[in-house]
Amino acid sequence: MDIQEIKQRFGIIGNSPLLNRAINIANQVAPTDISVLITGESGSGKEVFSHIIHQMSPRKHGPFIAVNCGAIPEGTIDSELFGHEKGAYTGAIGERKGYFETVNGGTIFLDEIAEMPLGTQARLLRVLESGQYIRVGSSKVEKTNVRVIAATNVDVYDAVKAGRFREDLYYRLNTVPLRIPPLRDRKEDVFLLFRKFTADFTDKYRTPPIQLDEEAQQVLINYSWPGNVRQLKNMAEQLAVLERDRVITAATLSTYIPHEASRSNLPMRLDNQPKEDFSERDILYKVLFDMKRDMVELKKLVADIIEHGGVSTNYQNNSQAITQLYRDIELPNNNHDAQFTLQQPVNNNAGNSNDYNLTQEAEEVEESLSLIEKESDLIRKALKKHKGKRKLAANELGISERTLYRKIKELDL
């Protein structure tokens, strides 16, 4: 059967070279029993190709079942695929046949294979290699003759490198890779698909035909279609039902295109970029270390003023800097490394720089470096500032109210 006959039989529309190549691969691999891994974005039509492979194979008279691995809970997927015995787990009131038993002699399509748990992947690998499996709760080895077609919308090799997918299963499934092109790579097919969909829906809902002006056609073709054929079909159905004016303009068509999705070709943030994740204790440590650093800078500034003779020239700038530092730093329990006062004589002569006197009163106090004491002091000050209201104090400290309760109990405040 040639490509055009396959398109007519399975309702495939388009003349894209990428689409024709995918159909040709499916046609060539169908008569064999080789496992096929179909890759492609969501909505690109992966399940249609699984039907092509099954219907063009010697198993076409056998059963066919499509299983979405991502929709089955992890705790029950083994039972769904391989069956279970009575009493195998809570709620197993009787024995149950799995898909690999009921589809014996046919084809099973495992969609979203990358979502399958690692334990189930090991069981699937054994079925692919020997045709053997064991029901959940049983010790008897069962045999099956099933062809497996898998599909995924993610890069399985990346999942292998991340440890989420077995490498041996990947190479066992990927005997013949089949990639379905996204709609944005089939621009010549977009308008053909749209006309087919609108014709079907106007006939179904008995509404007048839909037409696009030239500008609307360009908008339709140039859009990136992140939802692929499924998104185009949904939009055609909306237009067929909702629009009273059956000649669609570019402005009207743009209202059916999601605004965020229209910018889908812009650069995006990668998920594997590192994210900052600070715990509450880390934040507290950072505050304390920043406070210590500011105190050291303050001491250096005072020592520099005393050591150099430029007090009169830079008196105003230095005093402002010191005042600003004291405003920015909240010192705990008056444990100041140095106390000083700047005194200005009553006879202020702007022309005589020596009229300014600097009096320093240095009082070295041994500062406690205990993090627990610092933490306790900060919590006390926050509670005092907000008059014992713990929710406001927790917001001030940057921690949760529950954590504040725990800290108060631990520190016996």
Q: What is the reported pLDDT for 2?
A: 86
Q: What is the DSSP string of 233-292?
A: HHHHHHHHHH-SSSEE-HHHHHTTS-TTGGGTTS----TTS------HHHHHHHHHHHHH
- The average pLDDT across 88-114 equals 91
pTM equals 0.61
Q: What does the alpha-carbon distance between residue 134 and residue 126 come to, in Å, rounded to a whole number? A: 10
Please report, as a single letter, which amino acid is at residue 156. V
- Among residues of the chain, what percentage have pLDDT more than 70? 78
Residue 292: CB atoms within 10 A of its CB come to 15
pLDDT in tens, 356-374: 444 444 444 455 556 677 7
- The average pLDDT across 82-101 equals 88
pLDDT in tens, 117-136: 999 999 999 999 999 999 99
pLDDT band at 319 (very low <50, low <70, confident <90, very high): low
Q: What is the reported pLDDT for 45?
A: 92
First to last CA, the chain: 83
Map out the domains of the chain with their CATH numbers.
3-181 (3.40.50.300), 184-263 (1.10.8.60), 280-347+354-361 (no CATH), 371-411 (1.10.10)
Query: Is-contact 151 36, C-beta < 8 A?
Result: no
DSSP class of 88: S
User: Which residue's structure tokens are 């049983």?
Assistant: 138
SS3 178: strand
- The average pLDDT across 28-44 equals 94
Sequence length of the chain is 413
In terms of pLDDT, which residue wins out, 205 or 288?
205
pLDDT at 284 over 90: no
pLDDT at 306 over 80: no
- The average pLDDT across 7-34 equals 94
In terms of pLDDT, which residue wins out, 286 or 109?
109
- The average pLDDT across 220-239 equals 93
Q: What is the reported pLDDT for 348?
A: 45
Q: What does the alpha-carbon distance between residue 136 and residue 87 come to, in Å, rounded to a whole number? A: 10
Q: Which residues contact 24 (CB under 8 A, 6 or more apart)?
A: 3
Q: What is the reported pLDDT for 74?
A: 87
Q: Torsion over CA of 179, 182, 183 and 188, rounded to 10 degrees?
A: -50
The pair of three-digit structure tokens given for residue 146, joined into one six-digit string: 């099933």
- The average pLDDT across 219-244 equals 93
Q: What is the reported pLDDT for 412?
A: 74
pLDDT at 320 over 90: no
pLDDT in tens, 57-71: 999 999 999 999 999
In terms of pLDDT, which residue wins out, 378 or 46?
46
Q: What does the alpha-carbon distance between residue 33 and residue 149 come to, in Å, rounded to a whole number? A: 10
Q: What does the alpha-carbon distance between residue 69 and residue 371 come to, in Å, rounded to a whole number? A: 50
Query: Is-contact 95 85, C-beta < 8 A?
Result: yes
In terms of pLDDT, which residue wins out, 333 or 148?
148
Q: What does the alpha-carbon distance between residue 234 and residue 285 come to, in Å, rounded to a whole number? A: 54
- The average pLDDT across 112-118 equals 94
